[in-house]
Structure 1
Amino acid sequence: MSKYFTLFLIVVFFIANFWASIFPYPFFSASTTLTVGQNQDINDKNEGENSPVTGSSDIKVVNLDWFDVVDTFFEKYVTVRVIDVNTKKQYYVKRTGGYNHADVEPIDSANVDIFHSLYNYEWSWARRPVWVEINGVFVAASINGMPHGYSLIDNGQGGHTCIHFLNSKTHGTKRVDETHQAAVQEAYSRQKEINLLEL
């Protein structure tokens, strides 16, 4: 009996293969009644490259709260790009610490030189409006130009500087610094200028 059953399975297998070669799946489905254009529309429905680009391609600068967003978004030991709003000079820093604002250091001596040039090669506590690119997002911020405290990067600067964001505070007074906040607002209000740059 098992001989007949095995023979039956072999015959069914060959008939199924023959049938499949004559009528490829799904010969009975409605897709065979679709036109080439309809098939293309279905296949391309979710293809982003076929969708026309709408809206503006302008870069937007956001004004994010330090405690609610930026402190966790701008993680320690991450390198970011800083763009000075007034001069449009760009340099790179790494966050090395800070809890009420970001303590940062330029990543190397070449970036120290760019940073130092913003202050005419004199260290200064003066605030400057900047845009900080964090993970592709440009955030309004404020810097000072006075290295102080600890230093983790051997870049010749000797100390770190600060980047303040919306509602950040100083580490010394633990208060919001109004001059930093004014620079943050200036960076945010001048956001259209970022589109003049080739980024």
Structure 2
Amino acid sequence: MLKKTLLMAICFLLISQVQDVIYAEEENKEDFSFGYDIQLLPWIEADKIVPRYSKFTILDIESKKIFHVQRRAGSQHADVQPLTKEDTKILKEIYHGKWSWKRRAIIVLANDQWLAASMHGMPHGAGALNNNFPGHFCVHFLGSTTHKSDKMDKSHMLMVYKAAGMLPDYLNHLDAKEVVVSFIAGLKEQDSFILKQMATEKLKWKKELASLENIRLMGLKEIDSYDNDTIKEYSVEWQIYLKNRKPFKETKKIMLIRSSELESWKVVVYPNYLSKSK
């Protein structure tokens, strides 16, 4: 374990480097990048760098907040706990004072390596440390999977690529169906940067997006289009969860366009996809 003074020095270096980040969430911010090497490692390699009972540091990309954790369990991903009560406090601040399943792009600092990763902020399961955290939370790397399925969660995948600074390139190489799935994941996570990469124009329904708690994708199928090379349309069936409202099911049409087969697919943004049809 790194001594506290050395760890704080490293954290200071991280914070200084991150000041150069330009994060694409507000109107005056267009892109983000880092001036140091962030590794996009598959889970099979990351698992060895942060083995069970190892302690490491987490840097949240957006808030720039840093806290320390210990991996306690997990075979398909890392089940971790904040080290101290102060670390728990910082984690909760990252989630604006309320525990949440929302995924966030993070950097894991371990053994002088920076690893692209993703986390959620919901305590669950068992906990073993005196840290005011009722359980553990999950940290995912590229290719790590959930316990309920043997597939990587789409939101975690997007956040891992975002942390690595490779999200735009990843999205640009997706087929049309995967763009729709990724766009819905971006909506679910309320992530403006993810959505901006795939939309034809700026979203005009921030209020509804801010009130979104969850989206459950129930069905997705392609509709016959005029030109399958440059225009595609999908019928999406989902269940929407908005704050202070009962969940409702909707079927929406989402159109994608591109200028040529060499270009990436973009989602046409003209309606409020989250509004309930009358």
Q: Normalised by the shorter chain, which TM-score bucket?
A: 0.5 to 0.7
Whether 2:40 is the aligned partner of 1:63: answer yes
Deviation at residue 139 of structure 1 after TM alignment: 0.2
Query: Matches of residues 142-181 of structure 1 in structure 2 within 5 Å?
Result: 142-181=118-157
Q: TM-score, normalised by structure 2?
A: 0.47
Q: Structure 2 regions of 5+ residues with no counterpart?
A: 1-34, 167-278
Distance 1:156 1:172 in 2: 27
Whether 2:41 is the aligned partner of 1:101: answer no
Query: Deviations for 1:153-186, whole angstroms, at most 9, x for unmatched residues?
Result: 1211110000000011011223210100000000
Q: Which runs of 4+ in 1 moved over 6 A?
A: none
Deviation at residue 149 of structure 1 after TM alignment: 0.4
Equivalenced residue count is 133
Distance 2:100 2:94 in 1: 10
Distance 2:91 2:54 in 1: 18
Distance 1:124 1:99 in 2: 22
Query: Matches of residues 32-181 of structure 1 in structure 2 within 5 Å?
Result: 58-67=35-44, 69-181=45-157
What SS class does the counterpart of residue 140 from structure 1 fall into?
strand
Query: Deviations for 1:105-152, whole angstroms, at most 9, x for unmatched residues?
Result: 000100000001111110100000000001110000000000100111
Larger radius of gyration: 1
Distance 1:125 1:172 in 2: 15
What SS class does the counterpart of residue 120 from structure 2 fall into?
strand
Distance 1:152 1:136 in 2: 26
The residue type equivalent to 2:43 in the other structure is: W
Give the match for residue 174 of structure 2: none
Distance 1:152 1:174 in 2: 27
Distance 2:87 2:160 in 1: 22
Distance 1:154 1:173 in 2: 31
What SS class does the counterpart of residue 47 from structure 2 fall into?
helix
Q: TM-score, normalised by structure 1?
A: 0.65
The residue type equivalent to 1:102 in the other structure is: A
Percentage identity across paired residues of the two chains = 35
From the two aligned structures, give the one with the greater strand fraction.
2
What SS class does the counterpart of residue 184 from structure 1 fall into?
helix
What SS class does the counterpart of residue 152 from structure 2 fall into?
coil
